[in-house]
Amino acid sequence: MKSYLHGLTYVEAKEYFLRRSAVILPVGSVEQHGPANPLGTDTLIADALAREASIRTGVVSLPVVPFGVSFHHMDYPGTITVSERALEAYLFDIMASLKRWGVKKVLIINGHGGNLPVLQILARRAREELGIKVFIYQWWTSSSRILSELFDERERGHAGAAETSLNMYLHPSLVRNDKVVDEAPRTNESISGLTTFLYTSEQTKSGVFGVQTSASADRGKELFKKLVEDLVRIIEVLERTE
Ligand SMILES: [Zn+2]
């Protein structure tokens, strides 16, 4: 069974959309994840989850959208950002194409928290203007119970041990094991409780938030296995419910 839409022929796509009205869309980012992790961490993890969930459920996955909203990481070389407006317009056009093929539900597997505000606007617009229900899955929030069972709070931050462990399991050749580092992010007490825009470099020098050095491929394997089980359960419910 083919798991990616871009791997199907149009004849196979026609057959798929006659039978099913849901698809998966992974969305990531290309942004710094500390000196040990690849820039594509969020894209790679979202794509791996989408691919595995697709194989297990038969719901096809679209190719991953690799770029996200990453202005806050732009002090680190190699980070690429797109604007909120550009991402929203791009994703909306994908939804409009899917409508033509009868898609009613889209499960977005979001690998990057900075994309969430755009995805929420997309979900509203897709519902109102296209009649498509967009659901957003983020492994660190949607499966937070699993995450908190396996990693403590300081290990769950950006580029922390949880994310790094997933990389070590999924893409070991891309992780610089000799460069893992822990860094407690700086907080400004005088503005605590308020929301503002901060650059990552104002909060951490290395780009890592919290504890990273406790990461391992074994921990990543266990986390990935449980996340996929959770995702499969979610997709099965999603396909059944109106
Ligand atoms: Zn990340």
- Alpha carbon of 113 to ligand 1 centroid (Å): 8
Residues 118 and 83: their CA atoms lie apart, in Å, by 10
Q: How many residues does the chain have?
A: 242
- Alpha carbon of 29 to ligand 1 centroid (Å): 8
- Alpha carbon of 68 to ligand 1 centroid (Å): 11
The pLDDT of residue 195 is 86
- Alpha carbon of 138 to ligand 1 centroid (Å): 11
- Alpha carbon of 10 to ligand 1 centroid (Å): 34
From residue 129, how far is each of 21, 27, 123 by CA, in Å? 17, 21, 10
3-state secondary structure of 137: strand
- Alpha carbon of 210 to ligand 1 centroid (Å): 13
CB 155 within 8 A of CB 166: no
The pLDDT of residue 187 is 83
Percent of the chain with pLDDT over 90: 93
CA 220 to chain centre: 16
* pLDDT reading at 242 higher than 90: no
CA atoms within 13 A on the CB side of 207: 21
- Alpha carbon of 214 to ligand 1 centroid (Å): 17
- Alpha carbon of 238 to ligand 1 centroid (Å): 26
The pLDDT of residue 2 is 84
- Alpha carbon of 133 to ligand 1 centroid (Å): 25
- Alpha carbon of 37 to ligand 1 centroid (Å): 9
* pLDDT reading at 177 higher than 80: yes
Q: Amino acid identity of 107?
A: L
**Structural domain that includes position 162:** 5-240
- Alpha carbon of 128 to ligand 1 centroid (Å): 30
pLDDT tens digit sequence for 41-96: 999 999 999 999 999 999 999 999 999 999 999 999 999 999 999 999 999 999 99
The pLDDT of residue 70 is 98
* Burial classification of residue 10, based on how many CB atoms lie within 10 Å of its CB (0-12 exposed, 13-18 middle, 19 or more buried): exposed
- Alpha carbon of 200 to ligand 1 centroid (Å): 13
- Alpha carbon of 24 to ligand 1 centroid (Å): 19
* Whole-number average pLDDT of the chain: 96
* pLDDT reading at 193 higher than 90: no
Q: What is the mean pLDDT of residues 186-206?
A: 87
| CATH assignment at residue 206 | 3.40.50.10310
- Alpha carbon of 64 to ligand 1 centroid (Å): 15
* pLDDT reading at 129 higher than 80: yes
Q: What is the mean pLDDT of residues 114-131?
A: 98
- Alpha carbon of 89 to ligand 1 centroid (Å): 23
Please name the residues in contact with 18: beta carbons below 8 A apart, sequence gap of 6 or more: none
Residues 20 and 59: their CA atoms lie apart, in Å, by 8
- Overall number of domains in the chain: 1
- Alpha carbon of 147 to ligand 1 centroid (Å): 14
* pLDDT reading at 194 higher than 90: no
